[in-house]
Amino acid sequence: MKIDSIEVADVQKTAGNMRTGGYRLVVMTCTPADEGYYITYSFEKETDLRHYRIAVSEGTKIPSIGSSYGGAFVYENEIHDLYGFTFEGMSLDFGGTFIKTSVPYPFKKKEQPAPTVTVVKEAKE
């Protein structure tokens, strides 16, 4: 499988070219990388599957591809809610409530603090 690397600034142009070429958006995924994250866009037309990847760090604002693929709002909201990335210009933005989690951005890389232990003893009567 071949994955073409593109720049964040080229996301909308690439999606537009795929749409014009008759490709459908199959999926958008976000995965942790050594330094930052990869967001991969997968498109398909008949038996031709194409993948484009951007490398991003925390805080990177990513242009939405909603103008080319209206259904991208599902993936963009999911990536926002699980990893904390902001997609600029989303066609439908749930404002962080698309996926309800017990902690914000559960898949975002974090420095894990040392766990604390609290011992509670019951008073004897």
pLDDT of 120 higher than 80: no
pLDDT digits (tens, 9 = 90+) for 45-81: 999 999 999 999 999 999 999 999 999 999 999 999 9
Strands 37-45 vs 24-32: parallel, antiparallel or unpaired: antiparallel
Determine phi and psi for 67, rounding to 5 degrees: -70, -25
pLDDT digits (tens, 9 = 90+) for 75-99: 999 999 999 999 999 988 898 889 8
Average pLDDT over residues 32-39: 93
Contact 78, 99 (CB under 8 A): yes
pLDDT of residue 114: 47
Residue 102 binned pLDDT confidence (cut-offs 50, 70, 90) = confident
Q: Please, what sign has the CA dihedral across residues 107, 108, 111, 117?
A: negative
The domain containing residue 14 runs over which residues? 1-125
CATH of the domain at 99: 3.30.460.80
The rounded Cα 20 to chain-centroid distance in angstroms is: 24
What is the domain count for the chain? 1
